Structure 1
Amino acid sequence: MALQVIVLGTGLTECILSGLLSVEGKKVLHMDRNDYYGGDSASLNLTQACWFNSARLWGALLTKLAQLYRKFRPDQTPPAELGRDRDYAVDLIPKFIIASGELTKILVHTDVTRYLEFKQIAGSFVYRDGKISKVPSNEMEALKSPLMGLFEKRRAKKFFEFLQGWKDEDPATHQGSWTLAQVSLLSLSDISRLLGINLDKDTMQTVYTKFGLEPGTQDFIGHAMALYLNDE
């Protein structure tokens, strides 16, 4: 069989490329010099992590990813009390893939799961006021969460319901119920809360203000839920 493409490495990029070519009917040979899939985006067990640390195959790359286990326990091998190798998955490059994102659709389309295994995140956590708290993932967890007070939870609930119900073509979902004449004597902050939201002009701060959300809740939504790295 005549090959048309040879792909070297089984990192995420290489797997997507190989899958796209295969879907288009190309004859592809996909190879990897390592004894595990994933390339420089792999998640290794403890033994692999120690091997990766001592290997010299990847030169400068080792310096960047380097040392993993031995970085914290110089010249040691994983002790028996840490358990089985397969109970660990140490990311060489920590990463998240959003379940409803475009990348997920590409992975499904290209059948990358033939080479790479993906694990659903069991939970995410935030550090606030000296404590570590779980980010709620369902209504029951939200009710029990210490991250917001009772009244703030009610405001946040209205905010999330607003997001869920938003329709560009339906002004009734834009939270506007007053006219300019009715609010002419109110302050600017009151006006921002009472008038409808214009997503083409209003900042996210304006939306938060309209629902009366506290600064801590704004940070929580932006960073812990939306996963933004900064406030820009």
Structure 2
Amino acid sequence: MAQNPLDLEKRYDVIVTSSDLTSSLVAAAVSRAGKKVLHLDPYDRYGQEWAALKLFDVIAAPALLIKEHPLPENVPVDCVATTPPSLISNVHLEAPVFEDATTGKAFLTDFGRTPPDDVIDRFFNEFYPKLKQAKSSTEVKEVLTMLKEELSSLNAFDNSFSIDLTPRFIFSIGEMVDILIRSNVTRYLEFRKIARILTPLAKREGEESNNFAPGSTFKLINVPCVRKDVFMSKTISLIEKRLLMLFLDFIKNASSTKATSEKTVPELTQPFSECLAEQKMTPKLCDLLVHSVLMVERSDLINTSEALAKIGRFMSAIGRFADRPYLIPTYGTDDLVQAFCRYSAIYGATYCLNSVVQSLKIDDQGEGGKKLVSSVNLMMEREGAISVECDHLVTNYQFPTVSQQSPSEKSLQALSRAIVCSRQSICADGLAEYENTSVLYLPPEMVGSRSAVYVFETDKSTNACPKGLYIQFFWCDATLTAVEDLKPVIEKLYSARVGTDSEDSCEPPLWSLYFTQSTEKPYSGTQPLAENLHHISPPVNELDFEAVVAEAKAIFEKMYPEEKRTLESWS
């Protein structure tokens, strides 16, 4: 083992092996509590499955995103072998805009800074085939390095894309926003509101067909979130507006402690569908509430108590920072990772990229013979092998040599994801410039999918792409491959687009990236490997960061229960 070539200390209070969002949040909290932190990442960029892609990364995604990690060699007999997680699989890219040199050149010149013709020709004749045919992430990095050096005039266009692998929102009332404010991590961030909450409105018997795209059974509408929106809405009738305002008053009264205590248990535990019927809500209003606010498939799948709490929280979030309940960092979710890492570094954390943990030494040295991780063996890109001791290890690594569940005991735990680039918004009713950010929940029966699909659309306003383009994210619980799960949904959503007279209102995407993202925990054994080994879970299927914050808090409190006030009064 090399002797601290980077002047690393022999021992750290906490070693964190990944720069995903949960790990970064843990590292920030531990650093703020005054502990010594060594924060590692096996790759050359922060974020892992929370990272952002540039345009050329997308082109090379089939090779770039799939990480193959062979078992480390020469693992000491008293150590447990580890490998970084391989969370992404079944990557498939459809890029018609690049398949033809003419359309590709038009794309670069329309949305870029019009690089010289010889640069564009060389890109399509030399570098694009190399990126598309690359077989490994190492090969991709070599091609990208050459591309950035030899065709530097394309760098600005490449950098104008920042596309999250795992897009999320910040709910205006929640623990993530409280942590950002109390810790003052907001000093590193800027935010924008999600301008539109969309919902699919089903075509009902007798409804005029000219309000729907030909052959479509639904259309997208902008959900009114404040009183002004309700009164100006052309989607709901005057009677429905009155019913909706009465229902919102009912929600406000029901949220009071006295009103809730007076309700009987059957009233609160009954399906929400019965509550809606009692309030004489029309089918259209029921769909608006269930699909856009509660984001559940049907009103009978949630009880009244939970539904009222969610709607009340939704209403309370409106107006805290904006006239919509959701916020998003101006540079996407990847910027949250960067912000927490900066915060942690200010309080003394040491950061090392390209540093792979190859094995752990676990000793029976705790009280009652409890197993504890005593040291980790690292392989650093330039410095070689190093051994560092720690009191706690926070990791998302896998343990390939440790017996866990048998394959027959495991079920599919994954998300199907798609990222689409288009010249058009998913909803034709455009807002003001730089405000085309939208969130949408698609129930399975509406689009013929096997599970509910979440959709998020953004544009230049979050620096996801150049002006004039839209980036659309789709995800759902995986049942088949991402292409099989999501491509039919995307096609139906595009065909439902109405509100424009142009002939190209159903223009297909410029490119689409599909992949499967595992949500399986890195260790599923019945017994802990070590008492001071703390596992980080992959992103789960949610819109906000509640699961991330909950897991980070649980890990911090388990490591340092006496420091619980650090999270409560993080300032």
TM-score under structure 2 normalisation? Answer: 0.32
Matched, 1:213 2:281: yes
Using a 3 Å threshold, how does the CA distance of structure 1 residues 170 and 229 change in structure 2: closer, same or farther? closer
Aligned counterpart, 1:225: 293
Classify the secondary structure of the residue corresponding to 1:169: helix
Do 1:16 and 1:110's aligned partners in 2 also have CA atoms closer than 8 Å? no
Higher RCO structure (Cα 8 Å, ≥6 apart):
2
Taking a change above 3 Å as real, the CA distance of residues 106 and 94 of structure 1, as seen in their structure-2 partners, is same
What CA deviation, in whole Å up to 9, does each residue of 1:74-103 have, x standing for no partner? 865793134444554433234344221234
Please tell me whether the aligned partners of residues 45 and 86 of structure 1 are also in contact (alpha carbons under 8 angstroms): yes
Q: Which runs of 5+ in 1 are unaligned?
A: 175-195
Maintained 8 Å contact 1:7/1:14? yes
Equivalent residue, structure 1, for 2:257? 168
2:182 aligned with 1:159: no
Deviation, structure 1 residue 153: 1.1
2:444 corresponds to: none
Q: Does 1:100 align with 2:168?
A: no
Deviations 1:118-156 (A, max 9, x none): 653222212324332212233222222233211111101
**CA separation of 1:37 and 1:157: change in aligned 2, threshold 3 A:** farther
CA deviation after TM superposition for structure 1 residue 212, in Å: 0.8
Alignment of 1:79-94 (within 5 A): 79-80=107-108, 81-83=110-112, 84-85=157-158, 88-94=161-167
Identity of aligned residues (%): 25
Partner residue of 1:150? Answer: 238
- In structure 2, what is the equivalent of residue 25 of structure 1? 34
Change (3 A) 1:120 1:88: farther
Given the superposition, is the C-alpha separation of residues 24 and 73 from structure 1 closer, same or farther in structure 2, using an over 3 Å criterion? farther
Residues 171, 226 of structure 1: alpha-carbon distance in 2 compared, 3 angstrom cutoff: closer
CA distance in 2, matches of 1:14, 1:100: 23
* 1:48 aligns with one of 50, 54, 57: 57
Q: Whole-Å Cα distance in 2 between the matches of residues 123 and 212 of structure 1? A: 27
Partner of 1:133, secondary structure, is strand
Give, as a single letter, the amino acid of the residue that structure 1 aligns with 2:32: V
CA 1:229–1:199: 2 relative to 1, 3 Å: same
The 5 Å alignment of 1:125-140 reads: 125-128=198-201, 129=203, 130=212, 131-140=219-228
Instruction: Give the direction of change, closer, same or farther, for the CA distance of 1:98–1:49 in structure 2 (3 Å limit).
Output: same
Q: 1:163 to 1:85 in 2, by over 3 A?
A: farther
CA distance in 2, matches of 1:74, 1:54: 20
AA partner of residue 249 (structure 2) = E
Displacement of 1:202:
3.6
Letter in 1 for 2:258: E
Paired position in structure 2 for 1:124 = 197
Which 5+ residue runs of structure 2 have no aligned equivalent? 1-7, 69-85, 113-156, 204-211, 213-218, 302-571
Distance 1:103 1:47, change over 3 A: same
- Supply the distance in 2 between the matched residues of 1:119 and 1:216 (Cα, whole angstroms): 30
Alignment partners' CA distance in 1, 2:67 and 2:162: 20
> Once the two structures are superposed, what CA deviation does each residue of 1:16-45 show, in whole Å capped at 9, x if it has no partner?
221221232212233445555432023433
Q: Counterparts of 1:52 and 1:147 in 2: how far apart (Å)?
A: 41
1:82 & 1:42 partners in 2: Cα distance? Answer: 23
* Equivalent residue, structure 1, for 2:89: 63
SS in 1 for 2:94: helix
Cα gap change, 1:27 to 1:118, in 2 (>3 Å): farther
Larger helix share, 1 or 2: 1
Matched residue of 1:63: which SS? strand
**Alpha-carbon RMSD:** 3.6
> Which structure is higher in strand share?
2
- Tell me, in whole angstroms, the C-alpha distance in 2 between the residues paired with 1:118 and 1:85: 23
Cα displacement (A) at 1:111 = 6.1
Which range moved further: 28-37 or 105-114? 105-114
User: Quick one: which amino acid aligns to residue 20 of structure 1?
Assistant: A
Give the residue type in structure 1 aligned to 2:292.
Answer: A
